[in-house]
Chain A
C-alpha cells in the first residue's frame, strides 16, 4: 500500500498559543484513521493543515506523495472534506447544492445524479434543504465530500446526531471507499461507534501526540488490563489467593504477561470454561491518555 499521508514533526502556533507541537503520523491508502482528542487538542488545526488552509509553522506534510507546503496547486489533489455541523444553503434543493459543489470541482452532472441515487436522496432531490432531516443533510454532505472520487477523505464528526442506522450507513460507505483505496481520516468523539471501523488512531492532547497506531499497538502502549468475567468467578476467588490478588469490580484484571497463565490456570486447575475476556476498548484507551494528560497538567 502506498503512503497517503505522511506528517513529520508538524507544529503550529496561533500567536503565542501552541496549537500543534511536533505531531508525526503516517497512514496508507485504503486505511481509516480516527483523529481523537479533547476540545482544543489541535484536531481542527491539523485538518486545516491537511486541507492546505493553514501553512504549519514547522514540519513536513506529504499527501499522496506531494509536499503540500510546496504544492500550491491544490486542484491536482483529489481531496474530499465534510466539515463538522455544516449547514448548506436552506433555500436550495439537494440536487442544486450537489450540482453547485460539483461545478466548483469540475465534476460532471452524471456523477451528481449517481450520488443522489447512491445515497438514497432521489425522492427528495427537488425539495429545499430546509425540509431535509439531519440524516438526509449528512448524507448530502457526505455525497459532496466524495464528488471527486477522493484519494484522501477528511470527515469531521460525520455521525454526530445521527441515529444508529444512519451512522452505520455512513460507515458502510467509508468501507466501500477504503476498498477502492481511499484513505479516510475521521475526527470524532463517538469512540465506541468508530472502534470497529478504523485501522489506526491518533490521539492528540493539548497539541501533542499522546498515542498513535492500530488498536493492538494502542492497547500495548497503554498497558491497560484485560477484564476476565464469569458468573462463577466470585466463588473461585474465595479459594484462590492468586485470583484474589487480581480480582477487582467482579472481574479479573489481567496484564499482557499474566493473561495466558491465568486463563490456563482457570481452565486446567479450576475447570472454568464459562468466562469472557474483554480487551480494553478505544474509549478506555482514550480516557487513559486523557487522564494521564490531565495528571501531568497538560490539559487546562
Chain B
C-alpha cells in the first residue's frame, strides 16, 4: 500500500529516469574517481606516495567534495519543475489528485536516494579499499569517520537539491535555471568562502568567534566542512577556523537540519505560489 502512495510513485519515477539517463553512473564514477585519487594519489603532490592520516584524508575529501557535491546535486534537480513545466507534464500532474507538497516530497525522495546512493557507493568503496590496502587504519575509527563523512555529504546534497528546486520553481525556462544554479554554486562554494576568509584575515575588531559561527551557519558548505573537521587537526587557513568552531557536532547537525527544513518550506511556498 505504502509503495503505491503518490509520493513514492513519483520518487520511483525520478529514480528510474535518472538511471535511464545515466546520471547515477556518471555521478558515481566522478565521485569514485575523485575519492580514490585523493585517497591513493593525494600524497603525490608532495613528491611521495603514501596513504594519508585519517583526519587529513577526511579533510582533503571534504575540501574536494564541497565543490563537486553541490554542483552534482543542483544539476540533478535544476529541471525538476521548470523542465516538467516546459514539457507540459507539470500541469498534467497538478490536474491529478495530488498536492504540491506530495509532488515536491516525491521528487526530493527520488533525487535524495540517487545522491545518497552515489555518495555512499563512492566513499564507502574508498573506505573499504583503504581498510584492505592500508595497514595503519583502525577499522572502527575509519568506518566511523567515513560514515559521518557520508552522512554529512548526503545532507549537503539534499540542501543543494532543494536549492536547485527553488531555482527550478522560480525559473521561466530551463536555460535560465542552468545559469542560475551555476551562479548559486559559485556564490555558496567559491565567493562566500573567499569573503569569509578575507574578513578573518583582515582581523576586523568586531569579528569574534560568535560572528564566525553565525557566518559558518549561513552557508551549508561551511557547515559541512565544519561538521567534518571539528576536533581534527585540519591544517591551516580557513580549514583551521572551521575546525576550531566552538560548536558541538550536534549543534552543527541541528543547523544543517534547519537548512534542510527551511529550504523545504521555502520550496513548498514558492511552488504553491507558482503561476500555472
A residues near B, CB below 8 A? 14, 48, 51-54, 73-75, 79, 81, 83-89, 91-92, 96, 100-101, 103-106, 128, 144
Known contacts A74-B97, A81-B95, A103-B4; is-contact A91 B21 (Cβ 8 Å):
yes
**Across the interface, which residues of A come within 8 angstroms of B89, CB to CB?**
83, 86-89
Cβ of B20 within 8 Å of any chain A Cβ, yes or no, is yes
Count chain A CB atoms within 10 A of each CB in B89, B94, B96 and give the residue with the most: B96
Write the nearest CB–CB distance from A105 to chain B, whole angstroms: 6
- A87 with B88, Cβ < 8 A, contacts A53-B276, A100-B9 known: yes
Q: B93 — nearest CB in chain A belongs to which residue?
A: A104
What is the minimal beta-carbon distance from B241 to any residue of chain A, in angstroms?
A: 45
Closest A residue to B87 using CB positions: A87
Which residue in chain B gives the minimum CB-CB distance to A85?
B88
Please, could you name 29 A-B residue pairs with CB atoms under 8 Å apart, sorted by A?
A: A52-B95, A53-B91, A53-B95, A53-B276, A75-B97, A79-B95, A83-B88, A83-B89, A83-B92, A85-B88, A86-B89, A87-B87, A87-B88, A89-B13, A89-B89, A91-B20, A91-B21, A92-B16, A92-B17, A92-B20, A100-B9, A101-B92, A101-B96, A103-B4, A104-B9, A104-B96, A105-B96, A106-B4, A144-B92
Chain B residues at the A interface, C-beta cutoff of 8 Å: 4, 6, 9-10, 13, 16-17, 20-21, 87-89, 91-98, 275-276
Separation in Å of the A50 CB from the closest CB of chain B? 10
Cβ–Cβ < 8 Å partners of A85 in chain B: 88
In whole angstroms, what is the CA distance A53 to B91 when docked?
9
Q: How many A-B residue pairs have CB under 8 A?
A: 61
CA distance A270 to B17 in the complex (A): 73
Residues in A neighbouring B16, C-beta threshold 8 A: 92, 96
- A97 (CB) vs chain B CBs: closest residue: B13
Cross-chain contact A86 with B92 (CB below 8 angstroms)? yes
Name which residue of chain A comes closest to B5, CB basis.
A103
Given A53-B276, A54-B276, A86-B92, A104 and B87 contact (CB-CB distance below 8 Å): no
In the bound complex, CA of A149 to CA of B43 (Å)? 65
Report the minimum CB–CB distance from B25 to chain A (whole Å): 13
CA distance A75 to B6 in the complex (A): 12
Determine the distance from Cα of A84 to Cα of B92 in the docked complex, in whole angstroms: 10
> Which residues from B are CB-within-8-Å of A86?
87-89, 92
Smallest CB-CB separation from A106: which chain B residue? B4
Which residue of chain B has its CB nearest to the CB of A96? B16
**Residues of chain A contacted by B275 (CB below 8 angstroms):** 14
Cα–Cα, bound, A88→B97 (Å): 19
Contacts of B98 in A (CB 8 A): 104
A190 CB, nearest partner CB in chain B, Å: 19
Taken together as a complex, chains A and B put the C-alpha atoms of A100 and B120 apart, in Å, by: 28
Bound Cα distance A207, B17 (Å): 39
The distance in angstroms between the C-alpha atoms of A123 and B217, with both chains bound, is: 56
